[in-house]
Amino acid sequence: MSIFEAIDGVPYLKNRYYVIVDTDNVTDTMIEDCLCNSLKDARKSLDGTKVILSYENRKPRSLYGIDKYTHKEILNTIRNNNEWEEEFDG
């Protein structure tokens, strides 16, 4: 059994999960527990008020109480919400 799956032909790790956190609520512990090296490296909403953090396997204690998303779910959130991407006409 592979640890990879594909969405739209792009492989990703099945054991990677994502959370959306208000930027003001991100702690140093959250950054240490997640895959990004700093808050600067994390994906932010267009207005900068929210950030997406990712982790693998078990949810870190610092993220308890925050909804988790699979790769497919976070992509749908980004693609279907003007908070994360501007709409393109074309």
55 or 81: which carries more pLDDT confidence? 55
pLDDT single digits (tens) 14-72: 789 999 999 999 999 999 999 988 999 899 999 999 999 999 999 999 999 999 999 88
**In sequence order, what are the beta bridge partners of 13?**
4
Q: What gap in Å lies between CA 39 and CA 28, rounded to an integer?
A: 9
Which tokens go with 67? 């909804």
pLDDT at 90 over 50: no
pLDDT at 13 over 60: yes
Q: 36: closest CA among 46, 47, 23, 49?
A: 23
90 or 27: which carries more pLDDT confidence? 27
pLDDT at 87 over 60: no
